[in-house]
């Protein structure tokens, strides 16, 4: 019994010690909390009397005022352009503390800044206002030249036309009919095959100075190349030199220049070997056609397609194009044909392919007014899906050149947002998202602005996502 009483007494003492220890810990914790609360109250009173006071800022009232200002200035395009509220951040150190504030868009256009002060904008405005004689050469020749009459019967089927070419009695008429039939129906172009291409090349080489022969031959080559069937390989192997010779021998013939540029554009997109061949042998002739026939939108569109396809994926070809003034020629075409959606689309794609993944050319094109050219094209054709898609991809590449021009950065962001809002097509959404990501990666962190301006629209929140794959150009 005595042993059991001793054990009970020891257990009671142990439990009493444990309860006392918990009580003392609770007392210490209470004293610590009281001390921290007192310190926090003293700090809060001190912060309220300083210039960083959190309680005096009325963020919602400021948001309403900023919203009215944005609406009055016309700076709101979509809902994401509305000002947002930052609730601030408390802190004892002045560098950490932030009071509640409104996050407006970077700078409203024209807010205390001179418009047109950018050298790139001046270069583009001068190009639009005064194209000059260099770009307007060939205006008198812009009308389609009448075809020279051919005193031979017409043909209604491929076999009759090819028989006439073999016999040589009505070879020119047969060749011309063959080209027209091939353009009218892709199946007819497939039936022409290598034999028809060979006949066209033989006639073009035998009569290099006859306009009708070169016109008919270039029409056949362009039709076969457009069809995409087996005859295209024959054109790529033997037809490039014939087309370049025709363009050089008849520089004033709009039809020949257009047919050859169209065929060369498609050949350049075939494979890398053919692309390099087109680049080396026909670039000078294409640039000369653009220069001499500046008023012909179809020649400009086809030639822009040639430059687009020969430059894509090749830094060496991009450098060659830059050395020959191809970028300036693209901007001339876009300025001269601002109302032509086809030229604007081809020009935006050409700028994208010439500058893609090439920092040096991006800076050069932007300095010549490339960004303003793309923005002008997008705003002139807001309903054209192809123009909007090409323009968004071009802005994606040229966004890296925006360093301190906040108005231009804002204009680009709003233009892309407008395009994404108006068109729900997946290809445009992909292009717009790519442009937004590139604009966001630039952001205002790299722009030389004061601390009060370090805010950007909510549509371009700072995030670094994996860049999208490059587009497949089907135009």
Query: pTM surpassing 0.85?
Result: no
User: Helix, strand, coil shares of the chain as percentages rounded to 5?
Assistant: 70, 0, 30
Residues of the chain with pLDDT > 70, as a percent, come to: 66
138: left (phi over 0), alpha (psi -120 to 50) or beta: left
* Range with the poorest average pLDDT among 160-164, 366-370, 422-426: 160-164
Of the two residues 128 and 186, the one the predictor is more confident about is: 128
Q: Could you report the per-residue pLDDT of 60-114, keeping only the tens digit for each? A: 677 778 778 877 877 676 656 667 766 666 655 555 566 666 665 544 444 444 4
Longest dimension (CA), the chain: 141
Enumerate the β-bridge partners of residue 187. Answer: none
Picking from 185, 181, 217, 187, the residue whose alpha carbon sits closest to that of residue 199 is: 217
Confidence of residue 53 (pLDDT cuts 50, 70, 90): very low
Picking from 228, 274, 223, 217, the residue whose alpha carbon sits closest to that of residue 250 is: 217
Enumerate the β-bridge partners of residue 85. Answer: 102
pLDDT (0 to 100) of residue 85 = 67
Residue 260 has pLDDT above 60, yes or no: yes
- CB count within 10 Å of CB 216 equals 30
Q: What is the C-alpha to C-alpha distance for residues 287 and 281, in angstroms, rounded to an integer?
A: 12
Residues 6+ apart with CB under 8 A from 106: 406, 409, 410, 444, 449, 453, 455, 456, 457
Residues 6+ apart with CB under 8 A from 47: 53, 54, 90, 97
Mean pLDDT of the region 139-151? 40
Mean pLDDT for the chain? 76
* Range with the poorest average pLDDT among 19-23, 26-30, 190-194, 419-423: 190-194
Cα dist. 305→126, 258, 286, 342 in Å?
A: 25, 12, 10, 11
Residues of the chain with pLDDT > 90, as a percent, come to: 25
Mean pLDDT of the region 328-335? 92
Of the two residues 460 and 176, the one the predictor is more confident about is: 176
394: left (phi over 0), alpha (psi -120 to 50) or beta: alpha
The pair phi, psi for residue 357, each rounded to 5°, is: 55, 35
User: First CA to last CA across the chain, in angstroms?
Assistant: 104
pLDDT (0 to 100) of residue 454 = 36
């Amino acid at each position: 019994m005595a042993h059991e009483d001793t054990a009970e007494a020891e257990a009671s003492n142990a439990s009493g010690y444990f309860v006392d220890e918990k009580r003392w810990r609770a007392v210490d914790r209470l004293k610590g909390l009281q001390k921290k609360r007192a310190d926090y109250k003293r700090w809060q009173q001190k912060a309220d009397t300083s210039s960083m006071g959190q309680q005096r800022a009325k963020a919602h009232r400021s948001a309403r005022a900023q919203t009215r200002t944005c609406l009055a200035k016309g700076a709101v395009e979509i809902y994401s352009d509305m000002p947002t509220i930052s609730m601030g951040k408390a802190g004892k150190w002045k560098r950490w503390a932030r009071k509640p504030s409104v996050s407006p868009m970077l700078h409203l256009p024209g807010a205390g800044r001179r418009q047109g002060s950018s050298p790139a904008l001046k270069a583009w405005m001068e190009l639009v206002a005064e194209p000059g004689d260099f770009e307007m050469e060939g205006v008198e020749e812009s009308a389609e030249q009448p075809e020279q009459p051919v005193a031979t019967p017409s043909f209604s089927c491929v076999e009759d036309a090819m028989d006439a070419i073999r016999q040589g009695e009505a070879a020119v008429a047969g060749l011309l009919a063959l080209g027209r039939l091939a353009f009218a129906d892709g199946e007819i172009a497939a039936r022409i095959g290598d034999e028809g291409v060979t006949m066209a090349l033989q006639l073009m080489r035998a009569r290099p100075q006859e306009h009708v022969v070169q016109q008919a031959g270039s029409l056949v080559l362009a039709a076969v190349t457009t069809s995409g069937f087996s005859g295209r390989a024959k054109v790529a192997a033997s037809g490039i030199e014939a087309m370049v010779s025709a363009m050089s021998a008849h520089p004033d013939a709009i039809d020949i220049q257009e047919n050859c540029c169209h065929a060369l554009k498609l050949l350049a997109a075939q494979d890398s070997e053919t692309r390099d061949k087109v680049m080396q042998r026909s670039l000078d002739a294409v640039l000369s056609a653009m220069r001499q026939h500046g008023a012909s939108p179809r020649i400009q569109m086809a030639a822009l397609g040639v430059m687009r396809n020969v430059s894509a994926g090749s830094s060496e070809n991009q450098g060659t194009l830059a050395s020959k003034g191809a970028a300036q020629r693209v901007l001339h075409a876009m300025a001269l044909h601002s109302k032509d959606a086809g030229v604007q689309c081809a020009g935006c794609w050409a700028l994208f392919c010439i500058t893609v993944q090439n920092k040096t050319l991006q800076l050069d094109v932007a300095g010549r007014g490339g960004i303003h050219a793309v923005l002008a094209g997008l705003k002139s054709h807001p309903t054209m899906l192809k123009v909007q898609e090409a323009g968004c991809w071009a802005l994606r590449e040229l966004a890296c050149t925006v360093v301190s021009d906040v108005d231009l950065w804002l204009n680009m962001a709003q233009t892309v947002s407008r395009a994404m809002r108006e068109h729900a097509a997946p290809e445009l959404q992909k292009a717009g998202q790519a442009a937004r990501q590139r604009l966001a990666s630039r952001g205002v962190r790299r722009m030389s602005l004061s601390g009060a301006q370090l805010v950007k629209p909510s549509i371009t929140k700072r995030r670094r996502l994996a860049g999208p794959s490059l587009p497949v150009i089907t135009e």
